[in-house]
Every structure is written in C-alpha cells, then in structure tokens.
Amino acid sequence: QLQLQESGPGLVKPSEILSLTCSVSGASISSSSLYWVWIRQPPGKGLEWIGSIYYSGTTYYNPSLKSRVTISLDTSKNQFSLKLNSVTAADTAVYYCARGHPSGSYLGPYDHWGRGTLVTVSS
Amino acid sequence: DIQMTQSPSTLSASVGDRVTITCRASQSISTWLAWYQQKPGKAPKFLIYKASTLESGVPSRFSGSAYGTEFTLTISSLQPDDFATYYCQQYNSDSGTFGQGTKVEIK
C-alpha cells in the first residue's frame, strides 16, 4: 500500500529556506511513469500546487513560486524534497506531498497524499 | 490563469439529502477536472477524475458531470461520513488551480 510522509522543521525564520522531505513507501519513485508533487494549504484557506517532479527528474513549478522553488528526487532513499527560498509569513501553510494519478499530468489529479506538515514562518 | 469558482461556499443538508456542488471554469478545460473531499485536519481524499470517472473505492453515491465549463459533484444520498469540504481542481493548464471549496455541513 502506497504511503507518503512529510518531514522537516515546523518553524522557519523569515528570509530563510524551507526544506521538506517526502518519504515514499509501497512504490519506487523512480520505476514508473509517475509524478510526485508538493501542494500547500495556508491555514483556513484553499489548496495551491507548488510543483511536480517526474520519475525521470524533470521538474515543473507553479509560475508564481518558480523563482524560489526547487524539487528534487533522492532515489537511493525513495524520497523527494522541496526547498523554498526567501520565505515570508505568506508561506505559512500545511505542506502536502502527493502522487500524481497514472492517468494525469504534472498538474494533477493527485490520488495519494501524505498527512501534511504545518510550517510556520516566524521570527 | 484559469479561475475555478465553486458554489455554494457552504451548504447545509441532512442525512439522506441529494446534494449538488457546482464548479465553473473561467475558460475551457475540456474534462480535465477532479474532485476531492477534505475533513478538518486531514489531507484531501481523491474522489473523481476526468470530470465523471469515480476513483476506485469511492462510494457510488458520488458522481460527477460536465457541461461546457460547468461541472457538478452530486452526492445522491448524503451520509454522516460525507460532511466535509469539497474542492474541484482543473488540471488542463496553468497552475492546476483549485476551487475555493464548498463546505457541506449538518442542517
């Protein structure tokens, strides 16, 4: 059974780098034609796609965040990661990792999600 | 950017009611639309893709339909487990935008 689990600091200072890792079990992130995705949800608000990475390593980013985002794969650990630079309070959100549905694209839909992790940006 | 507008924002209903949620796209997205259910403190749960295809394991009381740029999610007979917030998402282009959500609450 596929499971995803986010990990990383829950508190990040303004202007610093937000770094999160998604550990995947039940499937190899490098062995099938799938997308692995980061999505976020500010408290009490809606969902926003951050970016996706294909099993081959090709990345796709939300244009509104593209200048600050890097997503990468670590196939040896069956993990993928998110780095968001120069964070502000507006980046405070629950961050989810997810898998793209086999019928979809880098934009969705997303059929398996991690539980999410709250990251607060504050000094 | 493609805007996704859901209505209503909140819906009050009783167990057994037929419930319909609407999602309108600001431009054509073909049928590249998904629906998710989210409960407080939980990750979204994937329900429907390509506007009307039910994901495996999702109860058959859920259904989706499309007419041009208007999409609907229908719950044929609302169950206690269905009280939640529902989001549509277009995955045709741009940033894969989500609707703002529709909260289905107990009447």
The predicted-structure confidence for A90-106, as pLDDT tens digits, reads as follows 999 999 999 999 999 99
**Which pLDDT band, with edges at 50, 70 and 90, does A28 fall under?**
very high
Cα–Cα distance for residue pair B98/A9, rounded to 1 Å: 26
**Which pLDDT band, with edges at 50, 70 and 90, does A71 fall under?**
very high
β-strand partners of A59? A53
Give the per-residue pLDDT at A86: 97
- Could you say which DSSP state residue B82 is in? G
Is the minimum CB–CB distance between A9 and chain B shorter than 8 Å? no
Question: Residue length, chain B?
Answer: 107
CA gyration radius for chain A? 13
**Which pLDDT band, with edges at 50, 70 and 90, does A62 fall under?**
very high
Give the per-residue pLDDT at A25: 96
Inform me whether the pLDDT recorded for A32 exceeds 80. no
Is the minimum CB–CB distance between A51 and chain B shorter than 8 Å? no
Give the per-residue pLDDT at A46: 96
Inform me whether the pLDDT recorded for B94 exceeds 90. no
Chain-wide mean pLDDT for chain B? 97
Tell me: the pLDDT tens digits for B57-70? 999 999 999 999 99
Average pLDDT over residues A66-79: 96
Cα–Cα distance for residue pair B45/A6, rounded to 1 Å: 17
Residue A117: phi and psi, rounded to 5, are: -135, 130
Beta strands in chain B (DSSP E): 4-7, 10-13, 19-25, 33-38, 45-49, 53-54, 62-67, 70-75, 85-90, 102-106
- Chain B: nearest CA to A74, how far in angstroms? 24
Give the per-residue pLDDT at B91: 97
Inform me whether the pLDDT recorded for A31 exceeds 90. no
The one-letter amino acid at A112: H
Q: Which residue of B has its CA nearest to A102?
A: B49
With vertex at residue A31, the alpha carbon angle to CA B32 and CA A100, rounded to the nearest 5 degrees, is 20
- Could you say which DSSP state residue B55 is in? P
Is the minimum CB–CB distance between B39 and chain A shorter than 8 Å? no
- Residue A4 CB burial class (10 angstroms; 0-12, 13-18, ≥19): buried
Q: Which two tokens stand for residue B14?
A: 């009783």
Is the minimum CB–CB distance between A103 and chain B shorter than 8 Å? yes
Give the per-residue pLDDT at A59: 97
